[in-house]
Amino acid sequence: MTEEQTVRYSRQILLEGVGRVGQEKLLSSRVLLIGAGGLGAPLALYLVAAGVGTLGIADSERLDLSNLQRQVLFTTDDIGRPKAEAARAKLKRLNPDVEIEIHSERVTAENVMTTIRDYHFIVDATDNLSTKFLINDACVLSARPFSHGGLLRFEGQAMTYVPGAACYRCIHGSPPPKAAVPSSSEVGVLGAVAGMLGSIQAAEALKYLLGIGDLLTNRVLTLNALTMEQRMVRTKRNLHCAVCGSHRSIRSPGERGQVGRRWPDTRST
C-alpha cells in the first residue's frame, strides 16, 4: 500500500481481523453490485470507501426524480442520466483507488453467467423478484457467494449465500405471481430503511472478503423500522430445492424447474 492508502484506510486497518493484510485483500477483491437503487446506493458508497479494488455496477435504468428520496448516491443534476454512469462518476470522486466497471445492459438469463463470472462476491440489490431468483440460481450454479436484500414500506430483510448453505430458492421455492407482491411504486418505501439494509449488505460483503465474523448464512435477518424490532429466522438447505437440492431440476439460469417443497415462508419484503 502507498502512504496515502495507509492514511485513507487507517481506521479500518486498526481493526482486529483487518490490518494491512486484510486491507490488501480488499484492494485486490472484485465485487459486483446488481442494482444501483435504494439498496445499491449506500452499498456502493461503503464498498468504495472501504477500498474494494474493483466494483462492478450492473444497472440499465436512468435516474428519475422519484428515485432521489432513497437513492442517496445521486443528486438532482443526475436526473435522466444512466444510473451506472452517474454512479461511476460520483464513486471515482470518493475514492480514485477503486476501479468501477459498468454493465449497462439489463441482467437476463442470457447474460447473467458472463456478467458475474469475474467477480469474487455478488450483491443482489434489485427490486424485482424474478431477477432475484435469476441471480440466486446463477450464483448457486457457478458457486458464487452473494448477499440478498429486499425492502418494502418500513420493512426489510437480508441473507447471505455461500456454497453449501441455504439459498434464496430454498426458502421461497419459486417466484410468486406478479400481482401477489406489490412494488415500492405502489405502496411506498421509507428511504432510511434502504440505507439500513444496504449497509448490512455492505458489511456482509466486506466480512466475506476479509474472512471475518459470522455471515448471514442459513439465517434471514428481518427488520421493522416502525418498531425497530429485528428477528433472526434460522433456516437450512432444502434438500428439495430445485437449484441446490439432491435432485435439482434447474440446470441453467432462467429455467423454471420443478418447484420443490418449501421450508416455512419468509418471503422477501
Q: Is 258's pLDDT higher than 70?
A: no
Each residue of 107-147: pLDDT tens digit? 999 999 999 999 999 999 998 899 999 999 999 999 999 99
Asked if residues 68 and 40 have their Cβ atoms less than 8 Å apart, the reply is no
Lowest mean pLDDT among 12-21, 94-103, 223-232, 247-256: 247-256
pLDDT on residue 185: 76
Q: Is 262's pLDDT higher than 60?
A: no
Q: Which pairs from 184-188 meet CB under 8 Å and 24+ separation?
A: 184/38, 184/127, 184/151, 184/152, 185/66, 187/152, 187/153, 188/153
Each residue of 63-80: pLDDT tens digit? 999 999 999 999 999 999
Each residue of 144-161: pLDDT tens digit? 999 999 998 999 999 999
Ramachandran angles phi, psi of 139, nearest 5°? -70, -40
pLDDT on residue 257: 60
Helix residue spans in 62-179 (DSSP H): 83-94, 112-116, 129-141, 168-172
Q: Is 180's pLDDT higher than 80?
A: no
pLDDT on residue 142: 97
Q: Could you give the domains of the chain? A: 3-234 (3.40.50.720)
Mean pLDDT, rounded, of the chain: 92
Query: Span 86-90, mean pLDDT?
Result: 97
CA distance 68 to 245: 41
Q: Is 268's pLDDT higher than 70?
A: no
Each residue of 15-59: pLDDT tens digit? 999 999 999 999 999 999 999 999 999 999 999 999 999 999 999
Each residue of 186-236: pLDDT tens digit? 888 999 999 999 999 999 999 999 999 999 999 999 999 999 999 999 999
pLDDT band (50, 70, 90) for residue 170: very high
Q: With CA atoms as reference, report the closest residue to 49 among 2, 87, 19, 8.
A: 8
Q: With CA atoms as reference, report the closest residue to 28 among 124, 103, 119.
A: 119
pLDDT on residue 186: 81
E strand or H helix at 231, and its extent? strand 229-234
Better-predicted residue by pLDDT, 32 or 257: 32
C-alpha cell of residue 177: 405471481
